[in-house]
Structure 1
Amino acid sequence: MTIHFSNITPDNWRTFKALKVKEEQKKFVASNVTILARAFAFRDYNSRVYAIYNGDLPIGMLMQHDLDDNSLVCVLDQFMIAEQYQGKGYGKSAMQLWFSMIKNEEKYDSIILCYIEGDEVARSLYLGMGFHYTGEVDEDEIVMEYNLKDKA
């Protein structure tokens, strides 16, 4: 397994647009076109979308942005691994790589994310990565946080 990130470009965006999650997961994650649109909408908050590869094989996408203008908080806005690559450790490996990148930036104090109740795969992954519940709910999404300062 050789997980790495790359940019979404004019040459590869259609490939990533075509990646899909399992039918029963569609209620938990935005479509890849929506992820790209959200990244554009959050561009003033340093949004970034990463194409996730295993070697040369496109397997998923990840979107992050700052919480606000002067943020020390990174928002993991979207994360998806295509259905045919799930259950093989790619999601965990991609999250570990992303964590390493975020920590190396030394810009943020914490990472926040939300997941929808019922998405047990995401909940398990995030808890396993060290996220904790904040007690907040944003609309129908449960908020979790990872404190980078405590992990330094």
Structure 2
Amino acid sequence: MGSPSITLQRITRENELACIALKPREDQLSLVATNADSLVHAVKEVTSIPHGIYADDLMVGFVLFDNEVYSDGYYWILRLMIDEKYQGRGYGRSAIKQLINQLKDRTDCRQIRVSHVPHNSVANRLYKRCGFQETSEFEDNGDIILSYSFEVNGHGD
């Protein structure tokens, strides 16, 4: 039996309750916003589009990312989480690679950015394994900013 096929599917009325039900581990609650909060954010921020991370037909995680270039000139991954029951199976890495592949052919996408709280070393390692690099920049709240530059990474290949 092969590994499941990972896809990103838009959050709709039909699957939003399944999305809201996804939870990180107890020790991760302070590291990520709740999916309910993220869905509210997506309604307010017109450039960001919420997606479920699916392993075959099962939603295992959530990602919120810009579907068009943000006002600062970058595409941002705003939220990423994998439900506690499905962590450690490569779903987060597969979802990030899917995002990179979706964005790499857009002529206005030169860089994807993501931020995380400083003590979230798991997220830091995950993003770096996917080709993101430290920028030495920080969000106003102190979050670390990482970037994936297509020029540096051979335009996603």
TM over 0.5: yes
**In 1, Cα distance between equivalents of 2:107 and 2:78:** 19
- Structure 1 gap segments, 5+ residues each: none
Partner of 1:132: 133
Secondary structure in 1 aligned to 2:109? Answer: coil
Superposed CA deviations along residues 66-92 of structure 1, whole A, max 9, x for unmatched, are 331xx5410111001101000011111
Q: Which residue of 2 aligns with 1:83?
A: 84
In the alignment, the residues of structure 1 paired with residue 70 and residue 145 of structure 2 have an alpha-carbon distance, to the nearest angstrom, of 13
The one-letter amino acid paired with 1:35 is S
Per the alignment, residue 104 of structure 1 pairs with 105
| Residue 40 of structure 1: aligned partner | 43
Point out where structure 2 has 5 or more consecutive residues left out of the alignment. Answer: none
**Distance in 1 separating the partners of 2:93 and 2:147:** 17
- In structure 2, what is the equivalent of residue 148 of structure 1? 150
Give the superposition deviation at 1:107. 2.9
Structure with the larger helix share: 1
Q: What code does the residue aligned with 1:32 have?
A: N
CA distance in 2, matches of 1:31, 1:106: 32
Question: What is the Cα deviation at residue 136 of structure 1?
Answer: 1.2
Q: TM-score, normalised by structure 2?
A: 0.89
- In 2, the alpha carbon distance for the partners of 1:62 and 1:49 equals 6
Letter in 1 for 2:145: V
The amino acid that maps onto 1:94 is A
Give the structure 2 partner of residue 119 of structure 1. Answer: 120
1:31 maps to 34
- Provide TM-score, normalisation by structure 1: 0.92
CA offset at residue 11 of structure 1?
1.0
Partner Cα separation in structure 1 for residue 151 and residue 42 of structure 2:
26
Aligned letter for 1:142?
I
Query: 1:112 deviation in Å?
Result: 0.9
RMSD: 1.3
Q: In 1, distance between residues paired with 2:14 and 2:130?
A: 32
Tell me by how many angstroms 1:62 deviates. Answer: 0.6
Displaced runs of 4 or more, over 6 A? none
Q: Paired residue for 1:61?
A: 62
Deviation at 1:104, TM superposition (A): 2.9
